[in-house]
Amino acid sequence: MNNSDRTRTELRGQFLHQNGWADAEIEALPADMSFRRYFRLQDGTRHALLMDSPPDKEDIRPYVKIARHLGELGLSAPEITALDEDSGFAVIEDFGNDTYNRLIAGGASEWPLYELAIDTLAAMHNHPNVINVDVPTYDIDKLIHEVVELTDWYYPALTGAALPTSARARYVEAWDTVFESLPTPPESLVLRDYHVDNLMILDGRDGVAKCGLLDFQDAVIGHPAYDLTSLLEDARRDISDDLRSAMRKRYAQQTPSTAGDDFDDWYAVLSVQRHAKIAGRFTRFILRDDNGKYLCHIPRVMGLLNRSLSMPVLKPVKHWFDEYWPDPEAPLPDFDPVEIRRLIAPEALIPVRP
């Protein structure tokens, strides 16, 4: 344990002591790709989670802000029962282990779970105060900044060569053209990772409050189609066309203002944007962070991307692929991360976490 870890452990103990959890049993939960860590606390019949978010690495304040806002909207984010924003610690409600992903893997029917997820998303989008929160805007510059993760990270791993600068510039121009062709978007809260790993079933609650929400600290104000694509164009699991169609119809019935070609065009564009970002990011995890557990999902992601490219609104991007990347679903070959890293700009190789 280095000095930084030792200091963090001591601060964690002080926080728990000050907030009535000094005698709790502490179980470290598996880490994700962020700097945050979670610990399960058990003290007799009481249980909760400790969130440890080092302030110099990941500010806890956005999580706190969005959790409280979601609660004000009548949705179920973990309740915060103790907080030290300056030190980056919080004791939050423990929703347990019943994520959608685990429930489905255990044999639960996916249809009622997805119906609840759609109802929850529609309730959030319909709430009159949904955008009354101070978070960044998911503007076109941000969307394009993310979409080049495909060309900057995945393309070199696929081909063993960096994409020429001129081709990258034309890729960005194609996306600019697509976004300029779209109508002005409606605004809503976008949680950004609204999928089966971040949704839970909460016993003892009714209606949309039964759906527990996780991993929302990066929320922004953007187009309501984004979270719908995140749920129904899932990078991590296959979803049948019947389920996807039924859930899109269910969402449209509850949000009449989002029905029509304009919403469908935004849905298609944001689907491809998200798939491009994810394929690049999953590759980045192994090239920059030595974590290859997500690479198995890339064939699904690129298949979804290729399918959505057929939509007329994406014609400029489709033309770019036809010229520079005619087979988006080509399998990723075995590659040496060390060699591929030589093709990536040095400033991009800062690790996600130590």
Percent of the chain with pLDDT over 90: 87
* Residue 354, in any domain of the structure: no
pLDDT score of 4: 60
Q: Which amino acid is at 324?
A: Y
Could you tell me if 73 and 110 lie in one domain? no
Q: What is the DSSP string of 39-92?
A: EEEEETTEEEEEEE--TTTS-SHHHHHHHHHHHHTT-BPPPEEEEETTTTEEEE
| Lowest model confidence (mean pLDDT) among 79-83, 172-176, 222-226, 253-257 | 253-257
Could you tell me if 225 and 294 lie in one domain? yes
pLDDT score of 318: 98
Nearest 5°: phi and psi at 83?
-155, 135
For 87-142, the pLDDT digits (tens) are: 999 999 999 988 999 999 999 999 999 999 999 999 999 999 999 999 999 999 99
CATH of the domain at 85: 3.30.200.20
28-to-36, 38, 52, 98, 214 alpha-carbon distances in Å? 12, 6, 11, 18, 18
pLDDT score of 354: 38
For 289-304, the pLDDT digits (tens) are: 888 889 999 999 999 9
Taking 80 as the threshold, does the pLDDT of residue 350 lie above it?
no
For 15-52, the pLDDT digits (tens) are: 999 999 999 999 999 877 678 999 999 999 999 999 99
Residue 319 · residue 170 · CB < 8 Å: no
Could you tell me if 164 and 193 lie in one domain? yes
Taking 80 as the threshold, does the pLDDT of residue 11 lie above it?
yes
pLDDT score of 353: 46
Token output for 120: 């929850």
Taking 80 as the threshold, does the pLDDT of residue 311 lie above it?
yes
* Residue 231, in any domain of the structure: yes
Rounded to an integer, the average pLDDT of 65-74 is 98
- Give CA–CA dist 26/22, Å, rounded: 10
Q: Which amino acid is at 69?
A: H
Could you tell me if 61 and 184 lie in one domain? no
* Residue 69, in any domain of the structure: yes
Could you tell me if 86 and 159 lie in one domain? no
**Structure-token match 């709430």, residue found:** 127
pLDDT score of 3: 45
pLDDT score of 5: 65
* Residue 62, in any domain of the structure: yes
Rounded to an integer, the average pLDDT of 236-251 is 97
In this prediction, residue 352 has a pLDDT band, given cuts at 50, 70 and 90, of: low
Percent of the chain with pLDDT over 70: 96
Could you tell me if 105 and 69 lie in one domain? no
Average pLDDT, the chain: 94
Rounded to an integer, the average pLDDT of 71-91 is 97
Could you tell me if 180 and 289 lie in one domain? yes
Counted domains in the chain = 2
Could you tell me if 70 and 109 lie in one domain? no
Q: Which domain holds residue 13?
A: 3-92
Could you tell me if 16 and 105 lie in one domain? no
Could you tell me if 128 and 82 lie in one domain? no
